[in-house]
Structure 1
Amino acid sequence: MATLVLTVVGGMVGGPMGAAIGAAVGQQIDAQIFKPKGREGPRLADLKIQASTYGQQIPQLFGTMRVAGSVIWATDLIERRSKHGGGKGRASTTEYSYAVSMAVALSSRSIRGIGRIWADGNLLRGSSGTFKERCKFRWYDGSEDQAADPLIASALGIASASAFRGCAYVVFDELELGAFGNRIPSLTFEVEADEGGVDAGLVGNILSAGSARCAGEWRFAGYAASGDRLRDALAPLVEVDGVRLMSGPDGWKLTPPTSAGEPLALADFRERGRSDAPGDRIEHRRAPLSSLPGTIRLRHYEPERDYQLGQQTSRVAGGALREERIDLPAVLPATSARALAQRLAAAAADGLETLLYRADLAALALTVGHVVAMDDGSRWRLAGRTVRASEILLELKRHAPLPVADLSAEPGIGVGAPDWPDAVGTVRLFELPNIGSPAASAPRLSIAGAGSNDGWRGADCWIVPWAGAEPIPIGMVRPARGLGELAEPLGPGSGALFDLSNSIEVRLANPAMTLESVTDAALLGGANRAMMGGELLQFGVADVVGAGRWRLSRLLRGRAGTECDAAHPAGTFFVLLDDPALLALPEPLAELTESGAAIFQWAPRGGARLTEVGVPAAGRALRPLAPVHGQVRPDGIGGVTISWVRRSRVDTGWRDHIDLPLGESREAWRITLSPPVPGIGPWESATSAWAIDAAELAAVPPRHMIEIRQAGDFALSPPLSLPLT
């Protein structure tokens, strides 16, 4: 467009000569406006964002790198439906979970292994190789003879499935998506392509099919090469390593200047007896200091911070205000990156001066790219050479890099997820008494789980109602706040007083768990409740005695009607109840455990090992509490009057002169003799008293006991035994 316009304008102003000038100027303008965009090499962001774009380049990895890769095959979301509850007039709950199967390409060069895997920045697979979410995982090293993945082959057909030979990739088979909001997470992978570090020489020789014409000085822990041409793939390494094109007896090579040895004296490459003449310096040019950047900012991947982006800056002496940023898709520690940034800043002035020098035929022996020393001691790098008959013109660039001073640097504080070793999981299913109102209408079972470290992510649980039945999913139990076992036996105690004579030695599953002391007021208000075997107790004082070991004292024993008159052996489980992580078994499932034939199953989150535990017959929460304060008094006419005080399973506190709530639909009592006597009893009463007349009492043998039980809506209470005298 500019060519046409300026040609016409030039012709109108200056005739044919003006039209020619206008056309030339217009061509220059059009060339700048419509010139094609330059090609760029790899950028740091390309390795951090997972993509599935058709035509996306897959980098060639060297050393050890963290990359996101490209999704090359995936299924639709796999939906699973599970229904819970329902029956007996209760509404059912339907839950949906999703999974996905997919393949992700990582490197267009063969690799040695896959290390850690991150999903949305959190560890999906740690260094131990265990996945945090359930899936099947396979990886292929990118060899030229690898077979097609069986999952892809079954989905597309063996004739249509590609083996992706020459491309290293991984396959996830039904990766659970519940932890990622039921969407495909952004995945990044730690890929080991070579053992040890790499340099520009190794990368260049491999990319150029082993021509052995590249050499490098700076070593990197990893590098990602990509680009449309070999030049694009090597450009970042060549730029930061100071690699120059040098000629020699074996031809041209890419090598850093330092590998060529000491500078050569230019006087050794002149004709014998000839000295440096002023006429030899044809032209001397010096670029202004404003052409230099003021700051060089080097961005790289920081291995000490899980390959997060790091950057080091260095000032250029005498440079302008502008900043030059270098994106290096390589893994480099902070100290090495700072040293490299300072070397780049020190070498920024290299080539600021240009000298055009006349030499003779002896200069043909000089190596282009080498550093030469002039008679005045100055050093110049031979950038080019022109031969004109017997005259040689040398283009020399000033070589005066500044020394590197400080090489120390801090990598900064990493924000990566902790990489925990594999944890040993512990899951307990235990029965609770009826705590609070309303009264339970089904057994109350809870599940607590914990791991040996904070890396344990929970467990999936199922109930099998009877042998051979289909497992019913319960849900996932999260890590509990306090779960362990008795380290030493605990003797019996009293449920009516503070137990100051006994203490509990507890070994917690995770040493990071802590227990807290509370005041008596908080203790009487229900704080620090715990199940220990079949006993519900509370503790007021918690003292740490070792890693994961606690001594609990100032105890309230036998809470909510649980027995405390028997000793607990070492190894009895201990669970802190004031914890939202406990998983309560729904009532319809809890009803299935009353027979004692149910089986409890659990598997760690992301694992496949299934553990089965038998569930004993449950129903403690349905039983009324045993009555107390029993009395047997003579009635004065040969018989006795028996009285007792009722307790309630919905209000288990000790309260004087207060009528506690019944907790049942009706009040009913069953009175029996122990051992039974034929023809006498049992009796039933609707009040907390019963009278035995003289005739019945006379028929009772000596040393017999009378047992009193409350008849609840679902079960009988434990007996209150009194001597009948």
Structure 2
Amino acid sequence: MATIVFSALGNALAGPAGGAIGALAGRQFEDALLGTGRRRGPRLRELEVSLSSYGLAIPRVHGRMRVPGAIVWATELQEHSEVIGAKGQPATTTYSYAANLAIVLSSRPIRSLGRVWADGKLLRGAAGDLKVGGALRVYLGSEDQPLDPLIAASEGEARCPAFRGLAYVVFEALELASFGNRVPALTFEVVADDGVSLGALVDETVSDATVTADLTGFAGVLVEDDLASCLSTLADVLPLALDASGEGLRLRLADTATELLLLEPPATAVEDDAFAPSGGMVRRRSPAAAQPAAVLRYLDVARDFQPGTQHASGRAAPGQPDMLELPAALESAEARRLVERMAQRRESARERVAWRSCTLDSAVAPGTLVRLPDRSGTWRVETWEWRESGVELELARVDTLDLEPPPAPSTNFPAPADLPPAQTRLVALELPWDPAAQTGQASQAVAFVGATGASWSGAALYADGRDGELRPLGPAARARSVIGRLEMPLAPANPLLLDRTSLAIVALSDPDAVLAPASLDQLAMGANLALIGEELVQFAQVEPLGSGRWRLAHFLRGLGGTEAAIASHVEAEAFALIDARGTPLPSLVEGEDTVLALGRGDAAPTSSPLHLAGIARRPLAPVHGRSRRRADGSLDLRWTRRARGRWRWSDGVDVPLIEEAERYLVTCEGAGSTLRSWETQAPALELSPSQAAELESLGPCTLQVRQQGTHALSLPLPLARLP
């Protein structure tokens, strides 16, 4: 606040230069009043971007930690383009990028790689699944690990290092579309050991050390600098005792003795520079620290190793607190216990005693807990020095109260969802001809691709031409469609009326998918169009049954010329909601009647037959078939034609003919074969008395009519049954 005030005042009096001088004066005033605080220990890395700088130290990971790593190899970004657009429509070219890079995680071997985060989002789950496209190879840092094939192919085997002794990962073709087509900030959960051992930290540097201290409660430790810096930081939260007076280095936890040694009475001294020459001891109490109670900054295991802070309890004091940055992974309760113990030791260590003894006792070493004659309390040996007049000891008081620290405040951390890879589901069909979007010669195949969950990022589409080879069908499917299976067959109904009696129970592939009801006006606008088996329907009412199951009712049946499939429904047939989420398949050619989809989480492709194949080019079957026997024995056959894409009747106006010519094929079917056939160019046919008599002599048969289109015959319409 003072900085702002002084800066504004200086700017008003002397312009920008005065403002800069005022800001400097205000900052010095704040530092004098509040203090600047002190940060000790290595600065914790908080979701830092993986660096690639010369001279960057590669840390040693102990236990389980989250590290950003160091990029040691990379290529230029790979560019991919996709052209999206159906026939007759403008095409759009989209570009995406992928990255190849190698990142070193630890300068000592590790056991496994856990989760990976990219820009704070989960990139690799606990099960080892990547949430985006690409490949990830993990090298644990053994001394015989092989060359990475991608690096070797790019750089050549002669120039390719195996990074033996370093744990690293290699991303190959990592898709960057989810990260703005740039390399994201990557962090890795590295599992190096089952737990953290102080002996393992020391043994890597000092071979003849004896370590009896343990790091119970530590999930992981990151050693970024030299061993001395790491031990110095740990000693701030743990009472470590380091003794180098013997043959080797001894490191143990102080304040853990079960029996306390009793020192002999203090001895006098004859040196001129000795303290308390007659009394042999000096007791002093240092003033309270100028900075408030300690603050511990650590990596919180419960918050995915993001930095957390714990404050020691006590009266608030002015100034900035003394903050210790501990490169260790801890639970919040353990961090709270450590910071409370640290504050207690700091307060009790204010009382110190200089003590002189005439006896050289090998059991009295730095870190030893002792008692003093005729004085209360427990004291720890900080230092000792052997002099001519005796052994001079520096003692610090130890608070032996084992108080339970206050519980750490609970945190509600929204961890990124680690969902298993969703399985791809597919329903492919050919849509009836739409005069508003297609020409009379075109057919439109569409793939409706769904999944079993939300952790689905798309699937590549292929066509099976029955020659054993899969042919790619253009851009991958990205939109997640609503598809499923029918649990019970749909009953037959009249296609000309609203079916209010039939029910359908659908089990959707994705339990979280939702179906919505529709009014009759919305049905008239094309809402809730769906494929059930080989029939196109619309439904008005939906009722959720739980677990992705829905009850559908109030249908419009046999839409788009599929009325022939009304009576042929079976159990477990396909269901697909037809909407804008479908992926057009303009490159699907005739004869390719099977479509396959392969997603990132699929062990094998899922396939679907092309439902309603040929419906776009096949004329609609005629309707309103009539037959009349005249008095002279002749047979008069009549019907009404329909046209593709004309789904509504217009009173007084005949629908336009879509085919090149109006032609019909009338056949007499009996005994499993065609007995007679006639062609006509009008929606009527008259059989003479002799022709009718001849047909009756052939035995039971059925007269039916098909419209002959430009590319195919329609489905038959029965006209009469003879005799």
Q: TM-score, normalised by structure 2?
A: 0.81
Shift of 1:78: 3.0
Q: Secondary structure at the match of 1:340?
A: helix
Name the residue aligned to 2:235. Answer: 238
2:59 corresponds to 1:64: no
Contact preservation (8 Å) 1:439, 1:649: no
The aligned runs of 1:166-205 (5 Å cut-off) are: 166-195=165-194, 197-205=195-203
Cα gap change, 1:402 to 1:292, in 2 (>3 Å) = farther
Name the residue aligned to 1:449. Answer: 449
2:658 corresponds to 1:664: yes
Name the residue aligned to 2:549. Answer: 549
2:620 corresponds to 1:625: yes
User: Aligned equivalents of 1:142 and 1:663: distance in 2?
Assistant: 74
Contact preservation (8 Å) 1:270, 1:362: no
Q: Which amino acid aligns with 2:384?
A: R
The aligned runs of 1:562-641 (5 Å cut-off) are: 562-563=562-563, 564-578=565-579, 580-586=580-586, 589-590=587-588, 592=589, 594=590, 596-597=591-592, 599-605=594-600, 609-610=604-605, 615=610, 618-632=613-627
User: Aligned equivalents of 2:192 and 2:401: distance in 1?
Assistant: 36
Can you list the C-alpha shifts for 1:616-669, whole angstroms capped at 9, x where unaligned? 78321233333333445689998777654454433424x463647537276734
Contact preservation (8 Å) 2:639, 2:684: no
User: Aligned equivalents of 1:145 and 1:269: distance in 2?
Assistant: 61
The aligned runs of 1:254-293 (5 Å cut-off) are: 254-267=251-264, 280=279, 283-293=282-292
The aligned runs of 1:664-703 (5 Å cut-off) are: 664=658, 668-670=662-664, 672-675=666-669, 681-685=678-682, 689-690=683-684, 692=686, 701-702=695-696
Q: Which amino acid aligns with 1:170?
A: V
User: Aligned equivalents of 1:649 and 1:65: distance in 2?
Assistant: 65
Q: Secondary structure at the match of 1:377?
A: strand
Q: Which amino acid aligns with 2:453?
A: N
Name the residue aligned to 1:154. Answer: 153
Shift of 1:537: 1.4
Q: Which amino acid aligns with 1:137?
A: L
Cα gap change, 1:638 to 1:150, in 2 (>3 Å) = closer
Name the residue aligned to 1:400. Answer: 399
Contact preservation (8 Å) 1:122, 1:416: no
Name the residue aligned to 1:486. Answer: 486
Shift of 1:442: 2.3
Can you list the C-alpha shifts for 1:175-209, whole angstroms capped at 9, x where unaligned? 333443333233222221112x2144442344434
Can you list the C-alpha shifts for 1:540-564, whole angstroms capped at 9, x where unaligned? 3333445333332233322222124
Q: Secondary structure at the match of 2:502?
A: coil
The aligned runs of 1:305-344 (5 Å cut-off) are: 305-317=303-315, 320-344=318-342
Q: For structure 2, which runs of at least 5 residues remain unmatched after alignment? A: 1-37, 269-275
Q: Which amino acid aligns with 1:572?
A: E
2:80 corresponds to 1:74: no
Q: Which amino acid aligns with 1:569?
A: V
User: Aligned equivalents of 2:217 and 2:477: distance in 1?
Assistant: 48
Can you list the C-alpha shifts for 1:106-137, whole angstroms capped at 9, x where unaligned? 11011111222233333333222233334343
Q: Secondary structure at the match of 1:530?
A: strand
Contact preservation (8 Å) 2:443, 2:617: yes
Shift of 1:214: 5.8
Shift of 1:81: 5.2
Cα gap change, 1:560 to 1:473, in 2 (>3 Å) = closer
2:119 corresponds to 1:124: no
Cα gap change, 1:617 to 1:489, in 2 (>3 Å) = closer
2:379 corresponds to 1:380: yes
Shift of 1:612: 5.8
Cα gap change, 1:719 to 1:532, in 2 (>3 Å) = same
Q: Secondary structure at the match of 1:475?
A: coil
Shift of 1:347: 2.5
User: Aligned equivalents of 1:665 and 1:560: distance in 2?
Assistant: 17
Q: TM-score, normalised by structure 1?
A: 0.81
Cα gap change, 1:224 to 1:98, in 2 (>3 Å) = same
Cα gap change, 1:103 to 1:511, in 2 (>3 Å) = same
Name the residue aligned to 1:722. Answer: 719
Aligned residues between the structures:
668
Cα gap change, 1:597 to 1:510, in 2 (>3 Å) = closer
Q: Which segment is superposed worse, 100-109 or 174-183?
A: 174-183
Name the residue aligned to 1:114. Answer: 113
Q: Which amino acid aligns with 1:71?
A: I
Can you list the C-alpha shifts for 1:439-477, whole angstroms capped at 9, x where unaligned? 554222221233333333331112355737772342222
Shift of 1:243: 1.8
User: Aligned equivalents of 1:661 and 1:210: distance in 2?
Assistant: 99
Q: Secondary structure at the match of 2:237?
A: helix
Contact preservation (8 Å) 2:448, 2:581: yes
Q: Which amino acid aligns with 1:189?
A: F
User: Aligned equivalents of 1:161 and 1:84: distance in 2?
Assistant: 40
Q: Which amino acid aligns with 2:344?
A: A
User: Aligned equivalents of 2:620 and 2:287: distance in 1?
Assistant: 97
Q: Which amino acid aligns with 1:183?
A: R
Name the residue aligned to 1:533. Answer: 533
Shift of 1:436: 6.8
User: Aligned equivalents of 1:388 and 1:106: distance in 2?
Assistant: 50
2:651 corresponds to 1:652: no
Cα gap change, 1:436 to 1:574, in 2 (>3 Å) = farther
Q: Which segment is superposed worse, 253-262 or 396-405?
A: 396-405
2:436 corresponds to 1:437: yes
Q: Which amino acid aligns with 1:219?
A: G
Q: Secondary structure at the match of 1:110?
A: coil
Q: Secondary structure at the match of 2:153?
A: helix
Shift of 1:105: 0.7
Shift of 1:577: 1.9
Contact preservation (8 Å) 2:255, 2:380: no
User: Aligned equivalents of 1:47 and 1:683: distance in 2?
Assistant: 78
Can you list the C-alpha shifts for 1:280-323, whole angstroms capped at 9, x where unaligned? 376544333252423x3322222233323332222345755421
User: Aligned equivalents of 1:269 and 1:247: distance in 2?
Assistant: 25
Cα gap change, 1:360 to 1:419, in 2 (>3 Å) = same
Contact preservation (8 Å) 1:632, 1:724: no
User: Aligned equivalents of 1:349 and 1:663: distance in 2?
Assistant: 98
User: Aligned equivalents of 1:616 and 1:491: distance in 2?
Assistant: 20
User: Aligned equivalents of 1:498 and 1:621: distance in 2?
Assistant: 25
Q: Which amino acid aligns with 2:44?
A: L
User: Aligned equivalents of 2:318 and 2:287: distance in 1?
Assistant: 10
Contact preservation (8 Å) 2:704, 2:718: yes
Tell me the C-alpha RMSD between the 2 structures: 3.8
Q: Which amino acid aligns with 2:236?
A: E
Cα gap change, 1:409 to 1:710, in 2 (>3 Å) = farther
Name the residue aligned to 1:367. Answer: 365
Q: Which segment is superposed worse, 180-189 or 314-323?
A: 314-323
Q: For structure 1, which runs of at least 5 residues remain unmatched after alignment? A: 1-37, 272-276
Cα gap change, 1:210 to 1:559, in 2 (>3 Å) = farther
Cα gap change, 1:473 to 1:224, in 2 (>3 Å) = farther
Cα gap change, 1:668 to 1:460, in 2 (>3 Å) = same
Q: Secondary structure at the match of 2:446?
A: strand
Contact preservation (8 Å) 1:624, 1:710: yes
Shift of 1:160: 1.8
